[in-house]
Amino acid sequence: MNPKLDVYFLGTGTSQGIPVIGSTHPVCLSEDFRDKRLRVSIRVKSATTTLVIDCGPDFRQQMLRSQTAKLDAILFTHEHADHTAGLDDIRPFSLSKGALPIYVSEAVNQNLRSRFAYIFDEENRYPGAPEVQVHIIQAGKAFKIGDIDILPIEAKHGNLPILGFRFGKVAYMTDVKTLSAEALEQLKNLDVLIINALRQEPHPTHLNVDEALAVIEQIQPKKTYFTHISHHLGFHESVSKTLPKSIELAYDNLEIEIL
């Protein structure tokens, strides 16, 4: 049984973030802090263990503004840049306590070794380069970090197999387009589901709002938070009024507790 968990939304935006560079879209010009979104990521914390899911290009900023001074591991959903491009910025964590454990699929492992070869080159390590301790994980095979039990759950991001994660009664699923019957079963009996809902219009590799609502109808979690939100979805305040009471738009720096 998992301990009480604190979930902190480090970022809730898409690959470009909000505001988008150079955009004059009304949401990008919004003064509402909830409409300003860094790249998607969360921190999961128990009394003894601190995990982060994904390490995008905003990782440094996210660690500073969330005051995350201790990190036990990073879990990766998939290899796209908005989820991995901040890997070099783990240096303060690895330099202070040694190699930082990262939990990745074999596909993500190979991708990171290609893109960040200097991090994985043990024979010719560049002075000051971050160090990682790689753990290969697979969908459906549970593991534990500290006092937190974790179940990787496979989804499809278009045609790309990716991983979401279940921690006891809470699950985090981002960049999802489709879920198998097995995955839907693994997501039953949740207190909290965090899932992507990009926009109202259909998208080839992401759930839109109607598709996310259909997943929720099948899973029946007690509470749902939408993340990986595009500026095309609309203003946080306006969209929130259209959602059922059990569903909320997440926003950057939102913090929730799951007992």
Closest by Cα among 144, 152, 201 to 173: 152
Burial of 143 (0-12, 13-18, 19+ CB in 10 A): middle
Q: Which residue has the tokens 């699923």?
A: 173
- Say what the pLDDT of residue 1 is: 65
Question: What distances in angstroms separate CA 173 from CA 90, 162, 181, 192, 220, one per listed residue?
Answer: 23, 9, 15, 11, 15
Closest by Cα among 110, 123, 167 to 143: 167
- The total number of structural domains in the chain stands at 1
Name the token pair of 121: 């080159």
Residues with Cβ within 8 Å of residue 181, at least 6 apart in sequence: none
113-157 tens-digit pLDDT: 999 999 998 888 778 899 999 999 999 999 999 999 999 999 999
67-82 tens-digit pLDDT: 999 999 999 999 999 9
- Say what the pLDDT of residue 105 is: 98
Residues spanned by the domain of 224: 5-258
pLDDT-flagged residues of the chain (< 50): none
Q: What is the dihedral of CA 251, 253, 257, 258, to 10 degrees?
A: 50
What CATH number has the domain bearing residue 106? 3.60.15.10
* Collapsed DSSP state (helix, strand, coil) of residue 80: coil
